[in-house]
């Protein structure tokens, strides 16, 4: 497994991130534990989750599955860089109780204690703000985070789904108060969705944040969806089903699959490998439901893409171009 540094922090992480969103809703506890063991054995040390994963009445279930895995011992916790998130409403049955969501100091304090209990650990390596909270000032957010850092309950803070200007604002305010600020941004970024290249990734790079792309296969669209459809193997849900109704998107995906077939490459592995060539990217989040999906993702780390192939991929899925020169004013 290849490793890199997470932004400007001294944290060394694998170039793939094990996403756990499917643990609980689609993958049972025993299978989830097997996937985490296999990932750790392969050197994948970066695990990402969120307090709301499990969803609905099962919110928190994913963190519980990770916690029971840590409880098995064997150095699992010490070998793992653990990331979770705060923002979503965690009140029972989804009741919208005041102060049970967002980024107020009181909810951050409540949420981190609950996550630590579910995760069966005494600290979180990377505590991420799942979304921006416009009404709550960053002065309050950072004050709460600094208390948790001093208590040893979290080590670093990161963002998720932040626009570029919020990354800048968060770090400027943290800097004025002597804090380290954000060290990472988790954003939607893949071959078919490259808008992050306009502002989010430039802001992240300027402020020394590592970029952690989520949905690297764009809801399955980049995972060989047309070939699977022809073979009767495609799942009929997710973003890919509706996206393929767009003629232009279908043509792009067909050209993508044809190109990779010509080179003897797997679409999903190529999409992950492409992200690993992008400036500023720490590693994409993969969310395997099965051991076979994990094995495929691990192969992508060793895949080398030629300059000719990268140029062809740019032709099929052109990005917005360099910023700010390519902005449409």
- Percentage helix, strand, coil for the chain under 3-state DSSP, each rounded to 5: 45, 15, 40
Short-list 288, 284, 209, CA closest to 9: 209
Catalytic residue among 3, 53, 127, 256: 53
Q: Are 140 and 177 in contact (CB under 8 A)?
A: no
Please give the C-alpha separations between residue 31 and each of 36, 118, 297, 321, in angstroms, as whole numbers. 9, 19, 17, 42
User: How far, in Å, CA of 86 to CA of 107, rounded?
Assistant: 9
Q: Which two three-digit tokens encode residue 174?
A: 């943290």
Name residue, tokens 């063991």.
Answer: 37
Q: Coil, strand, or helix at residue 254?
A: helix
Q: Are 271 and 310 in contact (CB under 8 A)?
A: no
Q: Give residues with Cβ within 8 angstroms of 123, minimum separation 6.
A: 116, 152, 153, 154, 155
Does the active-site annotation cover 3? Answer: no
Please give the C-alpha separations between residue 27 and each of 21, 32, 148, in angstroms, as whole numbers. 9, 6, 32
Indicate which residues carry an active-site annotation: 53
């Amino acid at each position: 497994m290849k490793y890199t540094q997470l932004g400007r922090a001294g944290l060394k992480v694998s170039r793939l991130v094990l996403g756990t969103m499917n643990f609980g809703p689609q993958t049972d506890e025993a299978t989830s534990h097997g996937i985490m063991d296999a990932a750790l054995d392969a050197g994948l040390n970066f695990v990402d989750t969120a307090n709301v994963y499990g969803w609905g009445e099962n919110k928190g279930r994913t963190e519980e599955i990770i916690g029971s895995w840590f409880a098995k011992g064997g150095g699992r916790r010490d070998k793992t860089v653990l990331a979770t998130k705060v923002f979503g409403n965690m009140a029972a049955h989804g009741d919208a109780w005041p102060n049970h969501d967002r980024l107020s100091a009181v909810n951050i304090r409540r949420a981190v204690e609950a996550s630590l209990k579910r995760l069966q650990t005494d600290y979180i390596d990377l505590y991420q703000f799942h979304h921006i909270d416009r009404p709550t000032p960053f002065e309050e957010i950072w004050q709460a985070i600094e208390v948790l850092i001093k208590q040893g309950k979290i080590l670093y803070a990161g963002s998720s789904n932040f626009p570029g200007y919020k990354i800048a604002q968060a770090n400027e305010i943290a800097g004025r108060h002597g804090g380290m600020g954000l060290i990472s941004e988790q954003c939607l970024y893949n071959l078919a969705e490259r808008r992050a290249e306009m502002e989010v990734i430039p802001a992240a790079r300027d402020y020394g944040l590592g970029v952690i792309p989520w949905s690297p296969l764009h809801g399955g669209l980049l995972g060989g969806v047309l070939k699977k459809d022809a073979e009767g193997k495609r799942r009929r849900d997710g973003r890919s089903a509706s996206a393929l109704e767009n003629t232009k998107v279908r043509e792009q995906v067909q050209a993508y699959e044809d190109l990779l077939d010509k080179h003897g490459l797997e679409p999903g592995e190529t999409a992950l490998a492409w992200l690993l060539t992008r400036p500023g990217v720490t590693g994409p989040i993969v969310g395997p439901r099965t051991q076979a999906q994990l094995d495929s993702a691990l192969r992508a780390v060793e895949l080398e893409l030629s300059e000719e192939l990268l140029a062809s991929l740019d032709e099929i899925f052109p990005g917005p171009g360099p910023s700010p020169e390519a902005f449409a004013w």
